[in-house]
Amino acid sequence: MLYFENDYSEGAHEKVLKHLIDTNMEQLSGYGHDTYCERAKQKIKEACECPDAEIFFISGGTQTNQIVIDAMLQGYEGVIAATTGHVSGHEAGAIEFTGHKVLTIPQENGKISAEELKKYLTTYYGDASYDHMVFPGMVYITHPTEYGTLYTKSELEEISAVCHEYDLPLYLDGARLGYALASAGTDVSLTDIANYCDVFYIGGTKVGALCGEAVVFTKNNMPKHFFTSVKQHGGLLAKGRLLGVQFDALFTDSLYFEIGKSAISCAQQLKDAFRDKGYTFYLDSPTNQIFIVLENEKMAELQKEVVFGRWEKVDENHTVARFVTSWATKEEDVKRLIELL
Amino acid sequence: MLYFENDYSEGAHEKVLKHLIDTNMEQLSGYGHDTYCERAKQKIKEACECPDAEIFFISGGTQTNQIVIDAMLQGYEGVIAATTGHVSGHEAGAIEFTGHKVLTIPQENGKISAEELKKYLTTYYGDASYDHMVFPGMVYITHPTEYGTLYTKSELEEISAVCHEYDLPLYLDGARLGYALASAGTDVSLTDIANYCDVFYIGGTKVGALCGEAVVFTKNNMPKHFFTSVKQHGGLLAKGRLLGVQFDALFTDSLYFEIGKSAISCAQQLKDAFRDKGYTFYLDSPTNQIFIVLENEKMAELQKEVVFGRWEKVDENHTVARFVTSWATKEEDVKRLIELL
Amino acid sequence: MLYFENDYSEGAHEKVLKHLIDTNMEQLSGYGHDTYCERAKQKIKEACECPDAEIFFISGGTQTNQIVIDAMLQGYEGVIAATTGHVSGHEAGAIEFTGHKVLTIPQENGKISAEELKKYLTTYYGDASYDHMVFPGMVYITHPTEYGTLYTKSELEEISAVCHEYDLPLYLDGARLGYALASAGTDVSLTDIANYCDVFYIGGTKVGALCGEAVVFTKNNMPKHFFTSVKQHGGLLAKGRLLGVQFDALFTDSLYFEIGKSAISCAQQLKDAFRDKGYTFYLDSPTNQIFIVLENEKMAELQKEVVFGRWEKVDENHTVARFVTSWATKEEDVKRLIELL
Amino acid sequence: MLYFENDYSEGAHEKVLKHLIDTNMEQLSGYGHDTYCERAKQKIKEACECPDAEIFFISGGTQTNQIVIDAMLQGYEGVIAATTGHVSGHEAGAIEFTGHKVLTIPQENGKISAEELKKYLTTYYGDASYDHMVFPGMVYITHPTEYGTLYTKSELEEISAVCHEYDLPLYLDGARLGYALASAGTDVSLTDIANYCDVFYIGGTKVGALCGEAVVFTKNNMPKHFFTSVKQHGGLLAKGRLLGVQFDALFTDSLYFEIGKSAISCAQQLKDAFRDKGYTFYLDSPTNQIFIVLENEKMAELQKEVVFGRWEKVDENHTVARFVTSWATKEEDVKRLIELL
C-alpha cells in the first residue's frame, strides 16, 4: 500500500533519531532544565531573529493550544478562531475544558480576514450588553490552515494590526509550520511570524519529530509561572530532554526547513499530475495537503492501493479526498501514485 | 560527577531505544491505533493475568493521574489520598484544575491504612451535613510510595475491601512500579495489583522509557469514551506508536521486571554500605530510593562529587538526602559512591 | 417615563410579596428543607400532571442553566443549542466555565427544528473522527425563545423524538414560560412540556417573583446528589424558603397562569396598535416581547417618553426596537404608549 | 419548640422587609444598576470609612467565596485557609470546582496565626521544587470564625503584614460579621477590617437579610470586568435590587450594628446561664455561637423542647452542642431556654 494519509505516520527523521540515540545515556536534569533544551531554544531564537523570545517545549498540538490559550486569557475571556480552526472543532473541547469559549468567525479556505475580525469586534463592543457576553481575549489562526492554505505577509500584518488595536494577542498554531515556510509561493518567513504574532508554535510532531511543539513567546510575554501552568495542565515531561534533543536536531543545519521543502516538492509533483490528468481540485493549497474531488467509484478503485483521507462528501457521487505528503514521503511512492491516477 | 539524583536522568533503555529505531520508518495509524500499541496491550494483559483488562497509554504521570481521576469521578466527588501522595502536593494542583478536591488522610512512611481510610469514611458519612461537603469518590495510593515504601499484600487487600464496601474504585499510581515488583521483600505481584485495584498505571518514564505510562483498567471499567477524554485533557499523542513501541519492548522477555531488579540490586548495595558505615536512615525503603540523614558538612562534602536530592531539613545541622538508583545505574558508579561515603 | 424595557423591572407580584410577609418570622429549616418548598413542589407536580417529578429551586436563569447542564452532561459532552440560544451567547460563557462546549445549530426566529437537529447528529456521527470532537450530550431549547416565539406541540414532539433516538435529554429553558403558556395561539400546555422534555425550568424571576426558577426533572432523572452539585456551583441558598414561598404563591390558585395572561393581553393591545398604525414588525411574536423596526428619528422621539430596548441595527436609518410587557404592566401605561405611537 | 439552631431560620428583619415592600413596584434597571444598589454602596463606604471602596452584591456566602477567590487568583494559584475554614470543608468543593486548591494551615479555635502563615510561606518558598506545587495566591480568614471566635486588631495587623510581605491579598469572610462587630470584647471595627483586608464581605444572609452578601474591595483592586465574572459564575441576579434594597436598609441608621448587638446580648445571657448552671464550654466564643459539651442524656432531654445543633462527638457519652442566637432571637425564648437548662 501507498500511504498519503497524513504527515504523522512515520517516526522521527533520521537525524532527529540519531541525536536521540547519541545523547541517550547522558545524565541530564529533568523537566526541561537540560543543555539540549537550552541549545534548541538558542537555535530557534536565531532562526526567528528574535533574541528575546521565550520558548517552551510541549508534547502535542492540542495540549499546546490548551495550555497557551488558558494561560494567556483572563478567566472571563474567550479566543477568537475561524469556524474551521482546529481549536473550534477538532480538539474534543480542550479549550472549553479549561473554561474558555471559542468565539468563531467566518473563514475562507480556512483563513480569517482582518475585515471579519474587525467586524466581530466592532459588533461585540457595539452591543449595549457586551459585558453579559464572553470578552474576546486572543486571536487564534493556523498557518498552514486546516486546508493547507497560507496567509500572505500583508494579511498577517493586517490581522496583527486589528489585534493590537484591541489589545488582543495574536496566536499562530504552526502544527505544520515547516510546510508553510517551505512553500514556493509564500512571502512569509519565520521572522515575519515572530514579528507579527505575540505567540506561536513551531510544530514538530508533523514535521520530523516523534512528538513535540516549540511554543515561542515573542514579546517578553510568556505568562508568569508558565512552567507551573504547564505542570498543572499535565503537560510537563520529566524527561524534557526528549523534546529539547529533537528540536536541537531540527534546528541544526536548517533541517526543519529542508525537510519542509522535500514534502512541498513531492506535493508539487502530485498536484501537477492531478492537474495534468484533469482532476478537480476542491481548493488550491500551496502546502503539503492536496484536496481533490473524486468520483466515488474512482475513490474506491484508488483505495485498493493507496491510503488517503476521506475529507467530506460533496454529493451522492463525489467525495473530497485528502492526499498528504511529508518529510518522510519517498519520490518513488509519489511516482507510483502518479501512475495509478 | 556521580548521579544518584533521580530515576529519570537518562533516556531510554537500550532495548526500548532499539525497538524505536527498528520500527521508526514503518507507516502506522495515529492516535494509538497501531499494531505496537495492540501488541503492548496484549503483553501487559498477560503480565497482569487479566485478560479483560483495558489499557491506555499516556505520556506522563501527572497527566495520567489527572485524566484517570477526572474521568472516573463524578463532578461532586473528590479523591482520597495520603497527605504525602503525589497528587496531594506535587502536581501543581492538576487534580483541582479539573474541579476535584484531593481529600487527604494521615499516612505513615507514605502509606495509608485501611483503618485510617475507614475512619475517614465513617466520620464523613456520620456528619449530618455530609452533603455540604465533597463526596469521596475514589482512593489513590502510590506503590512504591513517595518514600519508596511498599504495601504488603494483606494491606492492599484490606484497603481494597474498605474501598469496595463504600463502592470506591481503588487507583494505584505505579510511577515506579517496576522497582516495587522487583523489591526483594515484597509479596505483591503485578497480578495482585490487577486483582485488588480497579485501575492502576505501570510507570514507564522512570523505568526505562523516554516517556509513557500504561493505564490498566482491570474490571471492565474503562470510562466510556475515555479516548475522547484523553484528547480533551490534551493527553492524546498523534504518534501514539511512541508509547506503544516502548511498552512493547518493556514487556518483551520480562524486560520491565529485569531492569527493576537491576536498580534494586544497586540500591541494596548502597544501603548495605550506608548501614555498614554507620549512616542514619531516615526511614527504611525496600525499593530504589534511599533516605539518609546527613550532617550538613558531610552533605556539602559529598555534593562536590555526587548529585543527589536534598529532601528536607531535619534541624539546623542535619538534612535528609535522597539517593536514587534506576535501571540505568552502573555498578561502577555504585562502587565509586560507596568509596566516597 | 413609561417602561416597556423588560419583564424584570419591578419587584414581586403582590400575592407573592404577601406570602413572603406572612411567613417571614416562621422558623424554618435551611437549604430548601422547609414546608413551603415542599408545598410548592407538590403544587408544581400537580400543575405538570407529573406526580413523579423531582423539583429544585435555584435563584436565577444563568445559574440554573449552568448547574443543570453541567450536572446532566458527561465531562466529554457538550450541549446543542440554537445560535441565538441564551446559553450560546448571553451568559458570559457560564456553560464553558464548567468545561462544556455549546454546540450551535441554525435557528429560525429563535427556534431550532427537528430537521436541523437530526442533520447535526447524522453529520457528527458520520464523521470518521467524531471521537476527536465534542460529543453531543443534551439539547437545549427556550420556550418562549429569545425572540418571543413558541414551539408548537408537534414541533416539540418531533424534537423530542430525535433527542430520544440519540439518547439525548431535552432541556427546555422556561425563563418566560408563564408568557408562553398564556399565549392565545399556543397548543402547548405545561403538561405537554413535562411530557416531551426530560428537564425544564419554570421561570420565576421574569414572571412575578423577586428571584427564582423551578427546575423540574420529569423522568426520575434528577442527577445523583444534585443538592451537592448545586452547592458546589454556588447556587444553594441558606434561606431556601425565599424560593419555596414564592413558588408556593405562584402556584396557588393558578396565579402563575393568570399573571401570564395579563401580560399577553397587554402585548396584544400593543401589537394591534402597532399594526393599525402601520409599523413594521421585525418578526411575529405571540408572547410578551414585540420587535418593531423603527426609523431612527422615530425611535429618538419615542425614547423621550418611553424606555424600551434597542435590539439591533437594521441599516443606517432603521433599528429593531423591543417592547416588553409583563405581569406588572398597567393597562393605563399601554394606553399611553399607544397614544404616543 | 424553641429554635437556637442557626442564624438563618427566619426571613428578613422587619425594616429590611419593609424597604422591600415600599420599593416593590418601582421600575428599576436590572443587574444591580439601580439607585438602591448605589445608595447601599455609598452607605457601606461610609460605614467602612473607605471612600474608594468598590462594592458588589452577591446572593450567598459560598457563591461569594467562589467568585471572589477565583477572580482574584491566577490560574496556578491556590488560597491559604485554616483547616477549619468554611472554604476548606463545608462548601462542597466550590473552590476546587473553579480549579483552585485550598491550601490548609493549622488553626486554633478556628483562627490562623501570623506565625503559622509565615511558616507555611517560608517552607513553601524554601522547597527547591516549589514551582511543581500550587503557588499560594491569597489568604482567607473568617471573622467570626466557624467557632464564633474573633481576631484581635493586633492579630489582624500581623496577618495582614505577612500577607503584604508576600504580596498576597487578605480576604475576610464576614458571613456573620455583624455579630463580630457587636461583640462586647472586640477591638476590631469595620474600619479596621477595611484597612487590614484587601477584600472582605459583609454577610447579610445571617444578619437580617433574606439573602445577600456585600463584597468590599478596599484597595482599588476589584478585578477587571468583575461584573462579567459574576455573571459567568452564575451569580448575577436580574433583579439586583433585591440585594441593594436590603443592604440599603441594613446600613440605614446603623441597623446592621444594632441587630448584631441584640444577638450578642441574647448570647451573653445564655452564656451566663450555662456558666451559672455548671455546663462545660467546648470553647469560649464571644459572638452568637455557643458550644457546650453535653451529656448525651441531657442532650436528648433538651432536644424534646429545643432545636439546636449537634456539632461533634466528644466521646461515647458526650457531644458538643451548638446554640446560636441571631437578630431574630426573642428575649422570651432565651428566658424559656434558660429555665430548661
Nearest to A288, CA basis, from A9, A1, A12: A9
Q: C194, C200 in Cβ contact below 8 A?
A: yes
DSSP state of D130: G
D131 → chain A, closest CA residue: A228
Inter-chain contact D25–C3, Cβ cutoff 8 Å? no
Does residue D261 sit in helix, strand or coil?
helix
Instruction: Note the Cα A293 to chain centre separation in Å.
Output: 24
Q: What percent of chain B has pLDDT over 70?
A: 100
Given CB atoms, is A124 within the 8 Å cutoff of chain D? Answer: no
User: Among the three residues B200, B234, B254, which one is the final residue of a domain in this structure?
Assistant: B254
- CB-nearest partner of B76 from C132, C134, C225: C225
Mean of the pLDDT values across residues D27-56? Answer: 97
pLDDT digits (tens, 9 = 90+) for B184-209: 989 999 999 999 999 999 999 999 99
Question: What is the domain range of residue B302?
Answer: 2-7+256-340
Distance CA C217, CA C54 (A): 5
Could you tell me the CA-to-CA distances from A290 to A149, A340, B30, C130 in Å, in that order?
10, 16, 19, 22
Given CB atoms, is D93 within the 8 Å cutoff of chain B? Answer: yes
Asked whether residue B43 falls in the same domain as residue B179, the answer is yes
Q: How far is D228 from chain A (nearest CA, A)?
A: 6
Does residue D101 sit in helix, strand or coil?
coil
- CB-nearest partner of D92 from B76, B97, B102: B76
Instruction: Determine the pLDDT at residue B229.
Output: 98
**Does residue D264 register a pLDDT over 90?**
yes
**Does residue C242 register a pLDDT over 90?**
yes
Asked whether residue B206 falls in the same domain as residue B135, the answer is yes
Interface of C with A in 127-186 (CB under 8 A): 128-129, 131-134
Q: How far is B122 from chain A (nearest CA, A)?
A: 32
A257-288 b/e (C-beta count within 10 Å ≥ 16 → b): bbbbbbbbbbbbbbbebbeeeebeebbebbbb
Q: What percent of chain A has pLDDT over 70?
A: 100
**Does residue C176 register a pLDDT over 90?**
yes
DSSP H/E element including A161: helix A153-165
Q: Which residue has the cell 499510581?
A: B173
Chain B positions in Cβ-Cβ contact with residue A89 (cut-off 8 Å): none
- CB-nearest partner of D76 from A74, A99, A225: A225
Given CB atoms, is B193 within the 8 Å cutoff of chain A? Answer: no
**Does residue D210 register a pLDDT over 90?**
yes
Instruction: Determine the pLDDT at residue D122.
Output: 96
Instruction: Determine the pLDDT at residue A293.
Output: 97
**Does residue C312 register a pLDDT over 90?**
no
Asked whether residue B100 falls in the same domain as residue B162, the answer is yes
Instruction: Determine the pLDDT at residue B312.
Output: 87
Mean of the pLDDT values across residues D204-228? Answer: 98
B-D Cβ pairs (cutoff 8 Å, strict): 55
Asked whether residue A91 falls in the same domain as residue A231, the answer is yes
pLDDT digits (tens, 9 = 90+) for B226-280: 999 999 999 999 999 999 999 999 999 999 999 999 999 999 999 999 999 999 9
Asked whether residue A49 falls in the same domain as residue A147, the answer is yes
Instruction: Determine the pLDDT at residue C250.
Output: 98
Asked whether residue A193 falls in the same domain as residue A280, the answer is no
Inter-chain contact C94–D231, Cβ cutoff 8 Å? yes
Given CB atoms, is B125 within the 8 Å cutoff of chain D? Answer: no
**Does residue D220 register a pLDDT over 90?**
yes
Inter-chain contact C225–B99, Cβ cutoff 8 Å? no
Inter-chain contact D89–B129, Cβ cutoff 8 Å? no
Q: How far is B66 from chain A (nearest CA, A)?
A: 7
B211 → chain A, closest CA residue: A239
**What one-letter code names the amino acid at C178?**
G
**Left (φ > 0), alpha (ψ -120 to 50) or beta: where does A278 sit?**
left
Chain D positions in Cβ-Cβ contact with residue B131 (cut-off 8 Å): 92
Instruction: Determine the pLDDT at residue D312.
Output: 87
Mean of the pLDDT values across residues A101-129? Answer: 97
Nearest to C168, CA basis, from C198, C134, C138, C197: C138
- CB-nearest partner of D90 from B96, B99, B132: B132
Mutate to test the interface with A, among D29, D229, D232 (most CBs of A within 10 A): D232
- CB-nearest partner of B232 from C76, C224, C232: C76
Mean of the pLDDT values across residues D233-245? Answer: 98
Q: What percent of chain A has pLDDT over 90?
A: 98
**Phi and psi at residue C226, to the nearest 5°:** -60, -35
Q: How far is A23 from chain C (nearest CA, A)?
A: 35
Inter-chain contact A234–B236, Cβ cutoff 8 Å? no
**Does residue A269 register a pLDDT over 90?**
yes
Distance CA A292, CA A302 (A): 13
Mean of the pLDDT values across residues D68-87? Answer: 98
Q: C306, C1 in Cβ contact below 8 A?
A: yes
**Phi and psi at residue C97, to the nearest 5°:** -55, -30
* Assembly ipTM: 0.97
User: Among the three residues B254, B274, B297, which one is the final residue of a domain in this structure?
Assistant: B254
Q: Helices H, strands E: what count in chain A?
A: 14, 13
Asked whether residue D204 falls in the same domain as residue D285, the answer is no
Nearest to B75, CA basis, from A114, D93, C275: D93
Distance CA B87, CA B61 (A): 10
Given CB atoms, is B78 within the 8 Å cutoff of chain D? Answer: yes
- CB-nearest partner of C11 from D20, D62, D328: D20
Instruction: Determine the pLDDT at residue B194.
Output: 98
Q: Which residue has the higher pLDDT, B1 or C211?
A: C211
Cα of first residue to Cα of last residue in chain C, in angstroms, is 14
Q: B200, B174 in Cβ contact below 8 A?
A: yes
Chain C positions in Cβ-Cβ contact with residue B225 (cut-off 8 Å): 74, 76, 131, 135
**Does residue D258 register a pLDDT over 90?**
yes
Inter-chain contact A131–D224, Cβ cutoff 8 Å? no
Chain D positions in Cβ-Cβ contact with residue A99 (cut-off 8 Å): 99
A-D Cβ pairs (cutoff 8 Å, strict): 40
Asked whether residue B284 falls in the same domain as residue B230, the answer is no
Could you tell me the CA-to-CA distances from D136 to B283, C65, D103, D107 in Å, in that order?
30, 32, 7, 17
Say how many C-beta atoms besides its own lie within 10 A of residue C274's C-beta. 18
Asked whether residue C218 falls in the same domain as residue C296, the answer is no
C-alpha cell at B79: 479523591
**Does residue A331 register a pLDDT over 90?**
yes
Mean of the pLDDT values across residues B172-180? Answer: 98
Instruction: Determine the pLDDT at residue A279.
Output: 96
Inter-chain contact B90–D129, Cβ cutoff 8 Å? yes
Could you tell me the CA-to-CA distances from D47 to B181, D42, D196 in Å, in that order?
66, 9, 15
Does residue D46 sit in helix, strand or coil?
helix
Chain C positions in Cβ-Cβ contact with residue D62 (cut-off 8 Å): 231, 234, 236
Asked whether residue D183 falls in the same domain as residue D310, the answer is no
Q: How far is D252 from chain B (nearest CA, A)?
A: 34
Chain D positions in Cβ-Cβ contact with residue B89 (cut-off 8 Å): 133
- CB-nearest partner of C237 from D29, D211, D231: D211
User: Among the three residues A230, A253, A276, which one is the final residue of a domain in this structure?
Assistant: A253
Asked whether residue C194 falls in the same domain as residue C309, the answer is no
Average pLDDT of every residue of chain B: 97
Q: How far is B143 from chain C (nearest CA, A)?
A: 28
State whether the Cα torsion B279-B281-B285-B287 is positive or negative. Answer: negative
CATH number at residue D229: 3.40.640.10
Chain A positions in Cβ-Cβ contact with residue C89 (cut-off 8 Å): 133
Interface of A with B in 208-267 (CB under 8 A): 210-211, 228-229, 231-239, 241-242
pLDDT digits (tens, 9 = 90+) for C220-229: 999 999 999 9
Total count of domains within chain D: 2
Given CB atoms, is A43 within the 8 Å cutoff of chain B? Answer: no
- CB-nearest partner of A90 from C78, C97, C133: C133
Q: C47, C251 in Cβ contact below 8 A?
A: yes
C26 → chain D, closest CA residue: D10
D73 → chain A, closest CA residue: A75
A60 → chain B, closest CA residue: B237
Global pTM exceeds 0.95: yes
Inter-chain contact A96–C99, Cβ cutoff 8 Å? yes
pLDDT tier for residue A29 given thresholds of 50, 70 and 90: very high
- CB-nearest partner of C231 from D27, D59, D92: D92
CATH number at residue C284: 3.90.1150.10
pLDDT digits (tens, 9 = 90+) for A172-227: 999 999 999 999 989 999 999 999 999 999 999 999 999 999 999 999 999 999 99
Instruction: Determine the pLDDT at residue A312.
Output: 87
Instruction: Note the Cα D254 to chain centre separation in Å.
Output: 18
C97 → chain B, closest CA residue: B99
Given CB atoms, is C70 within the 8 Å cutoff of chain A? Answer: no
Given CB atoms, is B75 within the 8 Å cutoff of chain A? Answer: no
Asked whether residue D121 falls in the same domain as residue D231, the answer is yes
- Label residue C79 exposed, middle or buried (CB < 10 Å: 0-12, 13-18, 19+): buried
C-alpha cell at C276: 393599525
- Label residue B157 exposed, middle or buried (CB < 10 Å: 0-12, 13-18, 19+): middle
pLDDT digits (tens, 9 = 90+) for B286-336: 999 999 999 999 999 999 999 999 988 899 999 999 999 999 999 999 999
